[in-house]
């Protein structure tokens, strides 16, 4: 995967020279791997969107950077319209990190109209994934113009997200570049541990059973990485209710492929999906979450790591696999954070 190049709103030569000089000074030993005490005034103000992105960014930023999520947990992030009050939050931002790939278009539009001229907007998904690798599917058809944006369910892509966040924060705050690098390194160790554990757990599931039929297709990139098959999703591309034909097609597909489990969403219950499971004889498990972190802010498991472990363990165990390797992973934040998760 190519090294991402951050899209910037400020590109003047003078700014580039200042940044280069600051980075050179940092490389001479001004940074430290040791976490510092939290001050009342944040070094930077960072705005994010959905809670998994907030968690990832916060673990790189640490306690001296204010990270403010805009998208409340438990809402449909694809249809979320930011309230007028979000404009004031965006106006304070030094950088806005969004997932991109069309997930948060209304928030991105609001950001362009309200951020300071010196601020940055960074679209993480667009930075790390070339258009040739975008995935289109039932929930995100190519003729709709937007690819599947759920890159955060795939650990190697989160690794790339972390690298972008680390580099951007280091450029904005070169005096503390080494601290952002240390924070990123700690988090990446846990990302890699999760990746290895999921590969180990996948190997305990019969190949024919590594299938996903879900309420919403959030696992296209995950499935491609671990060798799973996405059978389909009940929620159509317009995020409305599926047609009778859609339901009939899914029932035929489940029967034809002998799909053992239908996965619903804990956050968005689907009576239709439960009905499909009942008619086909598949088990129905409604514990998955796309971007709503487990527990509440401040809980150890309220993190991207906690979200992924919850989903992975749920899928592996439901399909008859052994999730022991996943259960041993520490899902708490890897550094002190200063993050706000709207509820």
**For residues 305 and 11, which has the higher predicted lDDT (pLDDT)?**
305
Reading across the β-sheet that carries 211-214, which strands appear in turn? Answer: 229-233, 211-214, 261-265, 283-288
Residue 15 has pLDDT above 70, yes or no: no
* pLDDT score at 1: 44
Q: Are 56 and 194 in contact (CB under 8 A)?
A: no
DSSP string for residues in 120-149: EEEEHHHHHS-GGG----SSS-GGGT----
Q: What average pLDDT does the structure give for the chain?
A: 87
Q: What would the mean pLDDT of 51-68 be, rounded to a whole number?
A: 98
Greatest Cα pair distance, the chain, in angstroms, is: 66
The vertex-216 CA angle with 210 and 217, nearest 5°, equals 50
CATH architecture of 13-18+32-195+334-340: 3-Layer(aba) Sandwich (3.40)
Q: Which of 189-198, 214-223, 270-279 has the highest mean pLDDT?
A: 189-198
* Count of all residues that appear for the chain in the document: 343
Q: Are 259 and 282 in contact (CB under 8 A)?
A: yes
Residue 324 has pLDDT above 90, yes or no: yes
Residues of the chain with CATH 3.40.50.1980: 13-18+32-195+334-340, 206-327
How far apart CA 303 and CA 241 sit, in angstroms, is: 30
DSSP string for residues in 182-223: HHHHHHHHHHHHHHHHHHHHHTTS-GGG-EEEESS---HHHH
How far apart CA 16 and CA 6 sit, in angstroms, is: 13
**For residues 289 and 266, which has the higher predicted lDDT (pLDDT)?**
289
Residue 164 has pLDDT above 60, yes or no: yes
Rg (CA), the chain: 21
Domain 206-327 has CATH 2.30.40.10: no
Quickly state the pLDDT bin for 37 (edges 50, 70, 90): low
Q: Are 197 and 326 in contact (CB under 8 A)?
A: yes
**For residues 113 and 233, which has the higher predicted lDDT (pLDDT)?**
113
Residue 25 has pLDDT above 90, yes or no: no
Q: What would the mean pLDDT of 64-81 be, rounded to a whole number?
A: 91
Spatial CA neighbour of 167 closest among 339, 343, 8: 8
Reading across the β-sheet that carries 120-123, which strands appear in turn? Answer: 120-123, 95-98, 44-48, 65-69, 339-340
**For residues 268 and 113, which has the higher predicted lDDT (pLDDT)?**
113
Residue 209 has pLDDT above 90, yes or no: yes
Kindly state the DSSP code that residue 28 receives in the 8-state scheme.
I
* pLDDT score at 4: 41
How far apart CA 283 and CA 261 sit, in angstroms, is: 5
76 three-state secondary structure: coil
* pLDDT score at 234: 77
**For residues 231 and 10, which has the higher predicted lDDT (pLDDT)?**
231
Spatial CA neighbour of 219 closest among 135, 296, 282: 135
Half-sphere exposure of 287 (CA within 13 A, CB side): 16
Paired with 48 in beta bridges are: 69
């Amino acid at each position: 995967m190519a090294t991402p190049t951050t899209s910037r709103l400020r590109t003047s030569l003078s700014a580039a020279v200042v940044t280069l000089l600051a980075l050179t000074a940092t490389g001479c030993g001004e940074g430290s791997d040791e976490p510092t005490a939290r001050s009342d005034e944040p070094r930077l103000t960072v705005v994010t969107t959905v809670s998994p992105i907030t968690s990832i960014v916060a673990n790189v930023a640490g306690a001296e950077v204010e990270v403010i999520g805009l998208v409340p947990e438990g809402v449909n992030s694809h249809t979320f319209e930011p309230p007028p009050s979000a404009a004031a939050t965006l106006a304070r931002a030094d950088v806005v990190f969004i997932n991109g790939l069309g997930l948060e278009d209304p928030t991105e539009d609001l950001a362009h109209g309200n951020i300071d001229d010196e601020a940055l907007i960074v679209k993480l998904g667009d930075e790390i994934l070339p258009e040739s690798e975008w995935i289109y599917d039932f929930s995100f058809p190519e003729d709709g113009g937007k690819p599947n944006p759920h890159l955060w369910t795939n650990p190697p892509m989160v690794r790339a997200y972390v690298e972008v966040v680390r580099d951007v924060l280091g450029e904005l705050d070169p005096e503390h570049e080494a601290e952002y690098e240390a924070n990123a390194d700690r988090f990446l160790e846990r990302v890699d541990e999760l990746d290895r554990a999921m590969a180990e757990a996948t190997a305990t599931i019969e190949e024919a059973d590594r299938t996903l039929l879900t309420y919403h297709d959030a696992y296209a990139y995950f499935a491609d990485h671990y060798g799973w098959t996405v059978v389909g999703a009940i929620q159509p591309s317009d995020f409305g209710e599926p047609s009778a034909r859609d339901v009939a097609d899914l029932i035929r597909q489940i029967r034809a492929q002998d799909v053992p489990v239908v996965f619903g969403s804990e956050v968005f219950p689907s009576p239709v999906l439960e009905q499909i499971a009942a008619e086909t004889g598949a088990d129905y498990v409604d514990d998955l979450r796309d971007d709503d972190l487990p527990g509440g802010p401040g809980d150890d498991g309220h993190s991207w790591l906690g979200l992924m472990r919850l989903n992975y363990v749920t899928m592996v165990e439901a399909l008859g696999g052994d999730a022991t390797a996943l259960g041993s992973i520490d899902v708490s934040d890897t550094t002190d954070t200063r993050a706000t998760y709207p509820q």
